[in-house]
């Protein structure tokens, strides 16, 4: 009998490669899918997420567009209404504001205005977030804008596996999806992981990253990794934190949130975006509405300060959430 040959190990992928592979997979699977954006073809995108796709699929499916986000999104909506699935790249998510009217007044409302007869299967994705010295024009987390617009789905993964699986799910969804990619995580080697090709993460499903009994810490995107560090620090203090990664903001997995809060009685929510009207406040409002009788301490949040993100790194770090700030706030809640 011949010896069994072990299957080769699955190569670990970083966050950026996971996104690229998911888009390529869907381009191969769906001949009606196209990509459009600034410099996504010959250049392969500002960060390389679409590198090689134009060479593989042709310039008629991977389209280099003029520098006009409104025109790009408007064209994508039109193509989607004619049966295409469209991936739209924003070179930086900050500039999505230039296409805001097309997104919130046209894409978001199309299914409602046509009584469900028309759908807009587009995914608008792009690099977001700070911690890299990008200044006010290249550091935004503006997800609350779109969470506030009925008809849009909003996604922000924190791991390569989730980035891959959520991108696949988003490109197969008939609704418009705003997909936030944390550029600070693109090439972080310490979060690389194996990702089977059939990985699929359904929209609207949060992940319990760590189980605990004393406090629930809820986050998404880049701060999720700070929360993981904080959970270890809290454990040294005898406080067991349960960590929830929302992954999808709209639709929101309320069931997972409420189950955890009812168990721990204490909650901290962390988001990188600014404080006023940020998504952390929405999560806390829903917890207060649905779990108030289970709370043993006031729910608190850690967010960016209500200021643009400075370019100079010491100032940037001063206004953004930090491990120390999250730890101190979590400990205060635990001791309440």
| CATH, residue 280 | 3.40.50.920
- Co-location of 102 and 131 in the same domain: yes
Asked if the model's pLDDT at residue 1 lies above 60, the reply is: no
The mean pLDDT value for 51-78 works out to 98
120: pLDDT strictly greater than 50: yes
One domain, residues 239 and 320:
yes
The verdict on whether 225 is a catalytic residue reads no
Residue 266's domain comprises 207-334
List beta partners, residue 242.
216
- Same-domain pairing of 300 and 236: yes
* Chain segment 217-269, per-residue pLDDT in tens: 999 999 999 999 999 999 999 999 999 999 999 999 999 999 999 999 999 99
| Same domain as 186, residue 81 | yes
Residues 25 and 141 in one domain: yes
In a domain, 60, yes or no: yes
Of the residues 138, 161, 266, 304, only one is catalytic, namely 138
Q: Any idea how long the chain is?
A: 336
The predicted pLDDT at position 198 comes to 96
The answer as to whether 67 is a domain residue is yes
Band of pLDDT at residue 11, cut at 50, 70 and 90: confident
Residue 256 lies in a domain: yes
Query: Quick one: 190 and 222 in the same domain?
Result: no
Q: Is the distance from CB of 127 to CB of 302 less than 8 angstroms?
A: no
71 has pLDDT over 60: yes
In the chain, DSSP assigns E strands to 12-13, 33-37, 62-64, 85-89, 122-128, 153-155, 177-182, 193-194, 207-210, 215-219, 241-245, 248-250, 267-274, 300-304
Q: Do the domain assignments include residue 63?
A: yes
Q: Is residue 146 located within the same domain as residue 33?
A: yes
Taking the model in full, what pTM does it have?
A: 0.95
> Do 246 and 99 share a domain, yes or no?
no
Do 255 and 304 share a structural domain? yes
Asked if residue 8 has pLDDT above 70, the reply is: no
222 and 131 both lie in a single domain: no
CATH number, domain containing residue 46: 3.40.50.970
Residue-wise pLDDT tens digits, 273-318: 999 999 999 999 999 999 999 999 999 999 999 999 999 999 999 9
**Helix/strand/coil for 321:** coil
Q: What is the mean pLDDT of the chain?
A: 96
Average pLDDT over residues 123-140: 96
Residue 4 reports pLDDT greater than 80: no
């Amino acid at each position: 009998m011949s010896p069994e040959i072990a299957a080769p190990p699955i190569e670990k992928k970083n966050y950026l490669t996971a996104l690229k592979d998911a888009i390529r997979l869907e381009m191969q699977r769906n001949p009606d899918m196209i990509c459009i954006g600034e410099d996504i073809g010959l250049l392969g995108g500002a960060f390389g997420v679409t590198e090689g796709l134009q060479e593989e699929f042709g310039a008629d499916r991977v389209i280099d567009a003029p520098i006009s986000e409104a025109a790009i999104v408007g064209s994508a909506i039109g193509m989607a209404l004619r049966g295409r699935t469209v991936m739209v790249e924003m070179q930086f998510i900050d500039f999505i504001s230039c296409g805001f009217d097309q997104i919130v007044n046209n894409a978001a409302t199309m299914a409602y205005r046509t009584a469900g007869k028309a759908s807009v299967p587009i995914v608008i994705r792009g690099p977001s977030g700070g911690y890299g010295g990008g200044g006010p024009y290249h550091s935004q987390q503006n997800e609350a804008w779109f969470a506030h617009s009925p008809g849009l789905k909003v996604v922000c993964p924190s791991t390569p596996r989730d980035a891959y699986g959520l991108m696949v799910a988003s490109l197969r969804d008939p609704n418009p999806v705003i997909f936030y990619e944390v550029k600070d995580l693109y090439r972080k080697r310490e979060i690389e992981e194996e990702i089977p090709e059939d990985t699929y993460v359904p929209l609207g499903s949060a992940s319990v990253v760590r189980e605990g009994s004393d406090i629930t810490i809820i986050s998404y995107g880049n701060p999720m990794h700070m929360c993981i560090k904080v959970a270890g620090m809290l454990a040294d203090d005898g406080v067991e934190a349960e960590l929830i990664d929302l992954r999808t903001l709209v639709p929101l997995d309320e069931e997972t949130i409420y189950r955890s809060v009812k168990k721990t009685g204490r909650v901290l929510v962390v988001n990188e975006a600014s404080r006023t009207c940020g998504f952390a406040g929405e999560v806390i409002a829903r917890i207060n509405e649905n779990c108030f009788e289970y709370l043993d301490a006031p729910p608190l949040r850690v967010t960016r300060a209500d200021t643009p993100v400075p370019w100079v790194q010491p100032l940037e770090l001063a206004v953004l959430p930090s491990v120390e700030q999250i730890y101190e706030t979590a400990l205060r809640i635990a001791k309440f």
